[in-house]
Structure 1
């Protein structure tokens, strides 16, 4: 019998930070030590500064910047409880994402899973990627929307640089973001969109490439057009 899908924000027992179901990283421990009322959400200006620290700065400096992308204490507790529930049902987050969120069928006998694509170039075909809201976004101020672009086509990375994207991949992603998101926002849209892709070692779902896109002040009509599924 197939596992019952877990609703992302359904009531789940909160984890005990002193006895978590799996090891917590340093960022989680730090966030969970903060009182909810003392938490301040990340603003657009702060987000610009954080993402602006990504390449070409050294990897260690980039990792320090990425650690500033955090969920609130309450959201962190909920996310960790959800993660534990998903892992107990599906073994890991990957099969849940592919079967329940994306509904993509991997190629037979592929391990890690690979997905048939129309093009070998990321984002070249609308059927090769899906744009979905991040169900567990970092804790931003309300005008910021956090999207994930999942791609069937692998995005080339440079393992000698800690799994960061190659220069060509960066060019492809930037062009895609400008064409798909910035242009849809009209004049000045480029100032309202940021993107990043985690290094391989920092990805929570490593076997399935995805890009984080952050948008400030998008209206529901434009957002709905972006989220239309054409990949199924």
Structure 2
């Protein structure tokens, strides 16, 4: 049975489907010795190589969470000295689900399960991410109302969302979208700059008990709960991810 090349690579645990697309676009993937392209299909018996090396044999899935500190970059590029992979130092190959800006902090998941990545990232599945945000200057009710109703950024308008003011320049926001630097861009469009941003929840998982800079594996109960929430989620990529 044929399968798409990016799915074949992600299901090996080598990287996410999006990262697989980048490997393909960068001409780093071959099928049976021939350069692959986006949209290539893999048949049983095909030999797929990335950078001339075979894909790893699929290992047991790993799910862990990190309370990311500022200064750590959500990339698997080991040339970046601040990369999240070296920071955690996990013994198996893993990759982040979504991203947090280098200057942002808080909860992020990492895994070797390419299948779960797409289900969590796809905004159409409406999986919640909750943040606490501080701006450089105080804001009023007009700012809160505009954030709730949607802000025009990147040539489109953000989806309506929950926003609650918690101080003169502090608010709580819950997103189901994940556009690149979404919260920062929304604030900038309304004349404010983000001075601190912390993600405190993804779906049913919170930062409770996880100190800044520390990571831990999911408990069996957490894995079971996440799988139940993802049961009816689509894996189709709609171009949005779990950004901020």
TM range (shorter): 0.3 to 0.5
Whichever structure has more strand as a proportion of its residues is 2
When Rg is computed on C-alpha atoms for both structures, the one with the higher figure is 2
Higher relative contact order (CA 8 A, sep 6+): 2
